[in-house]
Amino acid sequence: MVVTLPIGTIKRILDRVSSLPEQASEFILGEALARILTRDDIETTSPTPATKSLPKLPQNIVSALEKARDDKTLIDGGKHVGHLGHYDFMTLRDWCRAMRLGSDAAAVEAAVVAASK
């Protein structure tokens, strides 16, 4: 599957990926959702910050985003990202949500819906 994402979305995601510490763990949806749901509780009840590492985006998705970023062709203000499976794009969407990139998660979801039509 190939989708068209806004260049701003691609750049923000890659900027966030590059700012993650090296010890970040591979993104696992269930763990990421659990972190989102419990983060507020941990921050308000614990005197010390949580020590769990942030989720790391799988390398195949990062590579596809880097290739799209470096491609000189613009399509309606965006760039083609792919070839990735539908599940990879859902992983990207969920990772964006876990990293608090809500508008980028919405852009990924909208692009997948548009590509599916």
pLDDT band of residue 21 (cuts 50, 70, 90) is confident
Q: Compute the chain's Rg from CA coordinates.
A: 15
110 pLDDT exceeds 90?
yes
Per-residue confidence band for 80, with pLDDT thresholds at 50, 70 and 90: very high
Residue 44 backbone dihedrals phi, psi, to 5 degrees: -90, -25
State the total domains in the chain.
1
Select the more confidently predicted residue: 77 or 60: 60
What is the domain extent for residue 32?
A: 3-116
92, exposed or middle or buried, with CB in 10 Å at 0-12, 13-18, 19+?
buried
**CA 19 vs CA 37, 54, 56, 71, 87: distances in Å:** 23, 11, 11, 22, 24
* pLDDT for res 35: 59
Do the Cβ atoms of 32 and 108 come closer than 8 Å?
no
Residue 70, CA atoms < 13 Å, CB-side half-sphere: 6
